[in-house]
Structure 1
Amino acid sequence: MTFLRRLLPLPILALVLALATALTASQAMADPNKTLDRIKASGVLRFPVMVGEEPGYVKDPATGNWSGFYMDWADDIAGLLGVKVEPVETTWGNLAADFQANKIDLVFGLNPNPKRGLVVDYLNAPLFTDAWAVVAKKGFEKKSWAELNDPSVRIVVQKGGTMQVVAEAMTPKAQIIPVEERPLGVLEMQANRADVMILAIFDAIQVQKQINGVVILPKPMLLNPAMIGIKREDGNEGYANWLVNWVNQQRALGLAQGKLHAAFEKAGIDLSVLPAEFSF
C-alpha cells in the first residue's frame, strides 16, 4: 500500500481502493449455495413432466399422479435434499422458457443445445447415453440418413426438440412435419401422413409398439448424451456440483443403467434392437 501511495495521486489511489473494496465485497456476497438453499427452503423441487413420454414420464389418468424413471430420479434427488417433488406439466420445446420464468429447478434427458444453453446450464456429466433412431412402418427400406434425405420422405418430429434439429441438419431435403407432442406424431404415423418419426432410441422402441412398426438406427449412428439442465443464475455452483456428484454415483455403481433396464422391462420394451456396440 505504501508503494501505491508513492506512485499514485491521492484521487486515483482513492478510486483504486474503492474498486478493490467493492470487488471484495461482491465476491464475499456471491453465495455458491444460493440455489441449493432456495430449493431446500421452499420445500419443493419443481420438476417438469410431459404427457405421452412413457416410460420416462407416466401419468395415471385416474389419480393424476406421475411416475416413470425420470420421476424416480427426481424423487431420489428431492429425498436427499429433504423436499418433495412438485410436477410442472410442460413440453420439451418450452423448457428454456420455463427456466427463464423460474418455473422449474432441473430437468433430465436434455440434449446438447447451444441456443438453449444461453439460459440453461448443462451439467458436464451425462446420466445416460441415447442414440437417434427413426420409427417406420414395416417394409420401409431406407437405412441411412443419406437415404432419408429425400423429398419423397415425410419425417415427423417434436417441435422445438432436438429431434427437429437433427432432422433439419441430416435430412433438409425431406418433408419435415413438426408437432407439439409425441402422441400427435404417433397419430401422423397411424394416419399415414408421415413415413418416419425421429426419436431417441428408447422412445422409438416404445412408439414402435403403438404403430406396429420397426425401429431403425440410421447410419452413421448419432449418439445422444442425456444431460441434466438447471437454471443459469448466480449462486447455482453448489447445486451443479452436488448434482454432478449424484450423477457420478449413479453411473459408477450402475444405478442409472439398472433403473433404465427395469423401467424398459416393466414397460415391455424390447432392448434387443440395440446394436452390440451401443451402451447407455
Structure 2
Amino acid sequence: MKKHLLTTLLASVALGATTVAAFAGPLMDRINAGETIRIGFANEIPFAYPGDDGSPKGFVNAEVLGVLAKMGYTNIEPVQTDWGGLIPGLQAGRFDIITGGMNILKSRCENIAFSDPMARIGDAFIVAAGNPKGLENYVTIKDAGAVMVTGAGYSNVEQAKAAGVPEADIMQVPGPTEILAAVKAGRADAGAGTYFTMKQLAASSDGTVDVTDPGAMPEDTMNWAGVGFRKEDQDFLDTFNAAQKDYLGSAEMMAAVKDYGYDETTLPGDKTTDWVCANR
C-alpha cells in the first residue's frame, strides 16, 4: 500500500513538473499544447492598457492582435503588470509576448528579442502650465538644475543621463499616473515620456500641466517601438515578422489603431531592428 502510494505521489510530481515545463516553455510548445498566448503589458495609455473589463486596449495591443489573427491565433490571454516587470516577467515565463509599446534599445536587445519596428515615437515633457522654467529638452533640464520624473525602466532615464542630467535629479516612479502626480505636486519640474503618453496626461490635467513640443528634442531621442519575445522563441518571431510586414500600415490595421492616435506619421519607416539595436 505504501509502495503504491509512493508510486502515485512520484507520478503526480513528475506530471506537475511536466506541466510547469510546458507552461513556461517556448511559445510554440504552449500553442501546440492548446495553451493561450499570454500578452504582457502595463497601464500605458494609448500604447497598451486594460479596458474596464480587463480586455487588451491600446494601439500596440490592437496591432499585435491583428497580426496574430492573420497568423491564425486568437486564443489570447492578457496579463497586466508594472512596466518594470515586463522584461523580467517575459524571461520568467509569466507571459509570452510584450505588447506594451516598448522602445527597442541596445540594453534591452541583450535580454530579449524584438520584432521589426511597428512604430516611430518621439518624446516630450509635461511641465507646469506655461512652462515657467523653459524646459524643452534634456539639456535645458540639466542647465536649469531641474528635477525630471519618468517611469522606472523608461528609455528617458538613459537619454537624460547621456545629456548630462545628474542621476540625483532623475526621479523614477512606477508609471504615467505617478509622473503626472509628481509634476502637479511640484516634486518634479518636468515629466518625461513618449509624446503620446505625455499628451494624454496633459489633456487629463484640467489645464494644470502642458505638453512640450517633441520637435524640440534631439533626433537621437527618436525611438522605434517593437514587440518583445523571448530569444528562444525566434522561430515564432520570424513568422510574426512576416505576417506583420503585410499587416503594418494596411487599411485594416489603420482602422484598428485610429482611435488611439496612431496615424501614418507613426509608421516606423525603413529602420530595421538590427539598426535600432545598434544605434539606440
TM-score bucket of the superposed structures, by smaller chain: 0.7 to 0.9
The C-alpha deviation readout for 1:170-194, integer Å capped at 9, x for no partner, is 2423711110122111111121211
The structural deviation recorded for 1:158 is: 0.3
Residue 136 of structure 2, aligned match among 129, 143, 150: 143
Distance in 2 between residues matched to 1:279 and 1:55, nearest whole Å? 13
CA distance in 1, matches of 2:253, 2:191: 27
Aligned residue pairs total 232
Report whether the alignment pairs 1:67 with 2:64: no
Query: Equivalent residue for 1:204?
Result: 198
Do the aligned residues in 2 keep the contact of 1:131 with 1:201 (CA within 8 Å)?
yes
Alignment RMSD, CA only?
2.6
What is the rounded CA distance, in whole Å, between the counterparts of 2:113 and 2:49 in structure 1?
26
**How far 1:260 moved relative to its partner?**
3.5
Distance 1:232 1:35 in 2: 11
Number of the residue aligned with 1:214 = 210
Is residue 57–residue 69 contact of structure 1 (8 Å, CA) maintained in 2?
A: yes
Paired with 1:82 and 1:260, the residues of 2 have a C-alpha distance of 19
Aligned counterpart in structure 1 of residue 36 of structure 2, from 37, 44, 50: 44
- 1:279 deviation in Å? 4.8
Is 1:241–2:235 an aligned residue pair?
no
2 CA distance for matches of 1:250 and 1:163?
29
Aligned pair 1:264/2:261, yes or no? yes
Hey, what does 1:166 align to over in structure 2? 159
Name the SS of the counterpart of 2:224 in structure 1: strand
Match of 1:228 in 2: 227
SS in structure 2 at match of 1:88 = strand
Residues in 2 aligned to 1:279 and 1:68: alpha-carbon distance in whole angstroms: 14
Distance 1:40 1:72, change over 3 A: farther
Aligned-pair identity (%): 19
Could you tell me which residue of structure 1 aligns to residue 23 of structure 2? none
Evaluate the alpha carbon distance shift between residue 40 and residue 161 of structure 1 in structure 2; reply closer, same or farther with a 3 A threshold.
farther
- Listed as ranges, the gaps of 5+ residues in structure 2 are 1-25, 268-280
Give structure 1 stretches of 5+ with no counterpart.
1-33, 266-270
| 2:250 corresponds to | 253
CA contact (8 A) 1:131 1:224 kept: yes
Q: Which amino acid aligns with 2:166?
A: K
Alpha carbons 2:66, 2:253 under 8 Å: kept: no
* Paired amino acid for 1:71: N
1:171–1:203: structure 2 CA closer, same or farther, 3 Å change rule? Answer: farther
